[in-house]
Amino acid sequence: MSYPYQIKSLEEYKAAWKKSVEEPEHFWADIASNFHWYKKWDKVVDWNFTEPSIKWFEGGKVNITYNCLDRHLVDKADQPAIIWEPNDPNDHHRILTYAQLHEKVVQFSNVLKNNGVKKGDRVCIYMGMIPELAIAVLACARVGAIHSVIFGGFSAQSISDRLQDAQAVFIITCDGAFRGAKDIPLKSVIDDALVNCAFVKRVIVYTHTRTAVSMIKGRDVWWEDEVRKVETAGNPDFPAEVMDAEDPLFILYTSGSTGKPKGVVHACAGYMVYTNYTFVNVFQYQPKEIHFCTADIGWITGHSYIVYGPLSAGATTLMFEGIPTYPDAGRFWDIVDKYKVNILYTAPTAIRSLMAFGLDPLKNKDLSSLRVLGTVGEPINEEAWHWYDEHIGKKKCPIVDTWWQTETGGVLISNLAGITPAKPSFATLPMPGVEPILLDEKGNEITENNVTGNLCIKSPWPSTIRTTYGDHERCRTNYFATYENLYFTGDGAYRDENGFYRITGRVDDVLNVSGHRIGTAEVENAINMHAGVVESAVVGYPHDVKGQGIYAFVIYSGTHGTPEMVKKDITATVSRIIGPIAKPDKIQLVSGLPKTRSGKIMRRILRKIAEGELDKIGDTTTLLDPAIVEEIKKGKV
């Protein structure tokens, strides 16, 4: 049985998967031949997980923006590439055709060049969800610079840490961003970040909200002025830079179980091939369809399924600046209706928050254009799954539950819309090229079904993480050292009698708050920076809308204000150090923490308390001071 690029039946899926694991080189060579290469690769894949060293399409020469833009100019020049819906529904929307997007990316590539950006340079992008963000990303890739997009919810301190880690000397930002009723002063956050980053040479500022900004002579320039210079010079062409397959394409920082975020690095060719292949297959994209992914480009979902996957497939991608509840909880449905969206890809947390508004916001909204629904970011509970199915998909749209990670670049486990079976709350089956396995505590493979274990992947797929920027050893210890010769995901999973996977959640100290990944150690570090805080311990607890909420137990010795004021000060500190996205939902001031005799905090106990399972705390006799548990139980917030 053979299979096409776009899998069309369960049998074809099985044939593709079988071929992909038995003859990965043949399989991926077939898939990769659907792209434009300046030069074909010498070797499809070369890898070992011990260093780790993972190389795909080595010897190949390629540029991802050529594949996203130039090659579509022949037959899709006038087709919308990006549809942009502003935060305020009364403002004008924008549509950029492939020809227009290409022109703007070429123009901005020239701006980058004129400002000294060269192949291999790191460029930090800190912008709201406007088309210029996609243009900046694509222009970096076109000139061969490594972009590092930072989500707008991160603080000046977080930005400065990332700038230093990546040694990024260029920044692209805008004056401000609109998010619901808020106006976020992005440039001013950048200015604060740069107090500690004198190595930054150039900040390019796009005007969006027209908030007052301080423009520093010699360092800061306006995007519009720079574009005008390129126009005055007659809009010269900028042929895409010829990149080696394994050249880094971007860095994206993500939280882990230590205090410091890791710069996940993806490589040009493998990332391009895999995001395209998964986009086309998971969503079963059809020509001319409108794909609406509600994520922010500051996260991997936006990189892979707003920008690179859809554009490399010649799709029309819809970018939305705002939030689901502004000006009211019907906003997503207005957008679906207005543009006749065909594919809607969102997060369980968004579905749950909209469910809470009931069915009123759906009245008089025509959702009949929808063909496929998707979810990503966290396990979806059955109630949310059924609501999505009944009220949004009207029981006619397959729902794809896509499991993946920043490190995996693209979807690893998911059903294929309408092609392979769905099962509520199950991500189901692996994509071609992906070999999941489950391991027990001792590191032995569990081969039976109806079991739970730690989820690992046996062999590389093209968009496997290549390294953590500037610290390869960290990449090895984090992902490739827990189990020999395996990529460890950090997630637990259950496998049912049909071999379908259900992701049960993180097994490390990483929280998933509204689909955002936050390390408990990072939050603890931030809390501990507050004067008067002696020690803290952060755990997650089930939250109706966010999936997980952040619960902080804090030993505070200061004397400054009432406990309520102290809690507000601690929250402000976290916001200042990491950003508003990491603010604890609950803070409990305690006089001590449950510790073993060797001084280790017993998080298991704190987790039970935070979850409200006060009678399931278990044995506390090994604790240094068992009485503290009673005190903490009494003070639970």
Binding site for ligand WT7 (CB under 6 A): 254, 300-301, 376-379, 401-406, 427, 489-491, 503, 506, 512, 517
DSSP code per residue over 136-193: HHHHHHHHT-EEEE--TTS-HHHHHHHHHHHT--EEEEES-EEETTEEE-HHHHHHHH
Q: How far is the CB of 415 from ligand WT7 (least distance, A)?
A: 11
Q: CA-to-CA distance for 177 and 323, rounded, in angstroms?
A: 12
Torsion of CA 307, 395, 402, 158, to 10 degrees: 60
Q: CA-to-CA distance for 403 and 502, rounded, in angstroms?
A: 9
Nearer to ligand WT7 among residue 63 and residue 255 (C-beta): 255
Q: How far is the CB of 259 from ligand WT7 (least distance, A)?
A: 17
Strands 80-85 and 316-320: parallel
Q: How far is the CB of 559 from ligand WT7 (least distance, A)?
A: 39
Judge contact between 190 and 175, C-beta under 8 A: no
Nearer to ligand WT7 among residue 506 and residue 530 (C-beta): 506
Q: How far is the CB of 255 from ligand WT7 (least distance, A)?
A: 8
Nearer to ligand WT7 among residue 178 and residue 305 (C-beta): 305
Judge contact between 57 and 46, C-beta under 8 A: no
Q: How far is the CB of 507 from ligand WT7 (least distance, A)?
A: 9
Q: How far is the CB of 375 from ligand WT7 (least distance, A)?
A: 6
Q: CA-to-CA distance for 537 and 575, rounded, in angstroms?
A: 17
Question: In 3-state terms, what secondary structure has residue 280?
Answer: helix
Q: How far is the CB of 476 from ligand WT7 (least distance, A)?
A: 18
Judge contact between 515 and 571, C-beta under 8 A: no
Q: CA-to-CA distance for 420 and 424, rounded, in angstroms?
A: 13
Judge contact between 247 and 267, C-beta under 8 A: yes
Nearer to ligand WT7 among residue 275 and residue 573 (C-beta): 275
Nearer to ligand WT7 among residue 419 and residue 513 (C-beta): 513
Nearer to ligand WT7 among residue 170 and residue 404 (C-beta): 404
Nearer to ligand WT7 among residue 361 and residue 519 (C-beta): 519
Task: With both helix axes pointing from N to C terminus, report the angle between 156-166 and 563-577 in degrees, rounded to the nearest 10.
Answer: 30
Return all residues near 444 (Cβ < 8 A) that are at least 6 apart: none
Return all residues near 45 (Cβ < 8 A) that are at least 6 apart: 24, 25, 28, 55, 56, 57, 460, 462
Q: How far is the CB of 355 from ligand WT7 (least distance, A)?
A: 18
Q: How far is the CB of 490 from ligand WT7 (least distance, A)?
A: 6
Q: How far is the CB of 411 from ligand WT7 (least distance, A)?
A: 8
Tell me the one-letter amino acid at 66: Y
Nearer to ligand WT7 among residue 492 and residue 532 (C-beta): 492
Nearer to ligand WT7 among residue 160 and residue 278 (C-beta): 278
Return all residues near 390 (Cβ < 8 A) that are at least 6 apart: none
Nearer to ligand WT7 among residue 80 and residue 519 (C-beta): 519
Q: CA-to-CA distance for 260 and 526, rounded, in angstroms?
A: 11
Nearer to ligand WT7 among residue 109 and residue 414 (C-beta): 414
Which residues on adjacent β-strands are paired with residue 506?
491
Q: How far is the CB of 489 from ligand WT7 (least distance, A)?
A: 6
Nearer to ligand WT7 among residue 200 and residue 427 (C-beta): 427
Q: How far is CA 429 from CA 10, 436, 492, in A?
A: 11, 9, 15
Q: How far is the CB of 457 from ligand WT7 (least distance, A)?
A: 12
DSSP code per residue over 569-589: HHHHHHHHHT-GGG--SEEEE
Q: Which of 8, 49, 19 is nearest to 458 (CA)?
A: 49
Nearer to ligand WT7 among residue 128 and residue 379 (C-beta): 379
Residue 327 preceded by cis peptide, ω within 30: yes
Contacts by 22-30, CB closer than 8 A, 24 or more apart: 24/433, 24/459, 27/432, 27/433, 28/56, 28/273, 28/433, 28/462
Q: How far is the CB of 589 from ligand WT7 (least distance, A)?
A: 30
